[in-house]
Amino acid sequence: MHVIHTQNELIKTLKVLSNIAFVPTMGNLHEGHIKLIQEALKKTKHIVVSIFINPLQFNSKEDFKNYPRTLEKDLSMLKELDVPFVFVPSEEDILDPLQTIEIHLPRIANDLCGKFRPGHFNGVATIVCKLFTLIQPDIAFFGKKDFQQLFLIKALVKQLNYPIEIVEIDTVRDHDGLAKSSRNNLLSHEHRKKAPQLLHQLNAMKEKVIQKTSLFEEIEAHAVRTLNASGWTVDYLSIRSAQSLENPVHDENQIVILGAATLGSVRLIDNIEFCIHD
C-alpha cells in the first residue's frame, strides 16, 4: 500500500495509470466506507482512497476539533483491504492560504442541511473538485446516507463536464437500523440506544405518505414533535422529490424523506427513498 502525502507525489504516481477508482473519506473508517471500497475493488485494481478532514465544510471550530481522528487504525484497515493508494494530504498541501474561490452550487444547497450549516456544501464541493482534478478518476464512489451531498455532487459532475461515473452505494446500517457514521462514535451509551428513533420516524412518515391519509406538512410536523419530545433537537424531517429535492408535486412517485437531528451534542442524518405506487 502506497501512502501519499503531497499532491505532487500523487500526480506523479497516478499519471501512468488508467481506469482509476476514487473513494473520498474523512477517515474514522467504518463498514459504510468498507462497502464503498469493496465495490470499487470490483471495478478496478487502481483505487485511491483519500483521508482528509475538510475544514471548509465545518460550521463550528469545535465540531472540526472533535471530529474523530483515527489515522493509524484507518491505514491498517485499508492495508487489510489491499487498497493500493491512500492520499493523506495536509491542510497546507491541499488548501490555498487564501482559498477565495469556491464552487457556486444550485439553490437547493442552501436548503435542508444547507439551511442549518451555511456554506457546508460549498466547502464539500470545493474539496471534491480539487480531489477530482488531482486524481482524475474514471469512477468515484459515494454513499446514499448523505443524500443531499450525493445529489449535489452528481449535479456538479454533470454541469462541469467531469468525465467521471458516480456510483451510488446504499446506506450501511447497524443491527438496529442506525446508519453507519463516524459521528456514531461520539454518542453516549444512552444516546446510542435512542439513536435508531430517527430511522423509526422516517419509516413512520413513509407509511403515512403511502397511505395518503395526511398532508405532508402534517406528517412532518407530527414526526418533529415526536422526536423533540423524546429528547432530540430536530433540524428538519422533510418529504421531498427524490429527483429534484424540491417539495413533491401532486403526482410525484419517487420520494425521499430526509432527516437531521441532534442527540446530546451529536448531529445525525438519515434518509429513506421509495416509490409511491397508485
Residues composing the chain: 278
**Together in a domain, 159 and 122:** yes
**Together in a domain, 258 and 164:** no
Residue 102: the pLDDT is 81
Sign of the CA dihedral running 40, 46, 51, 55: negative
Q: Which ranges in 160-244 belong to alpha helices (H)? A: 189-194, 197-211, 216-229
pLDDT in tens, 12-36: 999 999 999 999 999 999 999 999 9
**Together in a domain, 63 and 195:** no
Q: What percent of the chain has pLDDT over 90?
A: 87
**Higher model confidence: residue 102 or residue 209?**
209
**Together in a domain, 95 and 38:** yes
Q: How many Å apart are CA 267 and CA 60, to the nearest integer?
A: 12
**Together in a domain, 37 and 161:** yes
pLDDT in tens, 155-191: 999 999 999 999 999 999 999 999 999 999 999 999 9
Domain that holds residue 138: 2-169
Residue 176 lies in a domain: no
**Together in a domain, 161 and 186:** no
Residue 139 lies in a domain: yes
CATH number of the domain to which 223 belongs: 3.30.1300.10
Residue 278 lies in a domain: no
Residue 61: the pLDDT is 85
**Together in a domain, 144 and 86:** yes
Residue 240 lies in a domain: yes
Give this prediction's pTM: 0.93
Residue 208 has pLDDT above 60, yes or no: yes
- How many structural domains are present in the chain? 2
**Together in a domain, 81 and 24:** yes
**Higher model confidence: residue 185 or residue 86?**
86
State the catalytic residues. 33
**Together in a domain, 151 and 231:** no
- Using the 3D structure, point to which of 119, 141, 169 is the last residue of a domain: 169
- Residue 50's Cβ-count burial label (10 Å; 0-12, 13-18, 19+) is buried
Sign of the CA dihedral running 95, 100, 105, 108: positive
Residue 43 lies in a domain: yes
CATH number of the domain to which 149 belongs: 3.40.50.620
> Mean pLDDT, the chain, as a whole number?
95
Residue 56: the pLDDT is 86
Residue 51 lies in a domain: yes
Residue 101 has pLDDT above 90, yes or no: no
Q: What is the DSSP letter of 107?
A: G
Element (H, E) at 259: strand 254-263
**Together in a domain, 161 and 257:** no
**Together in a domain, 157 and 222:** no
**Together in a domain, 126 and 27:** yes
Residue 28 lies in a domain: yes
Residue 278 has pLDDT above 70, yes or no: no
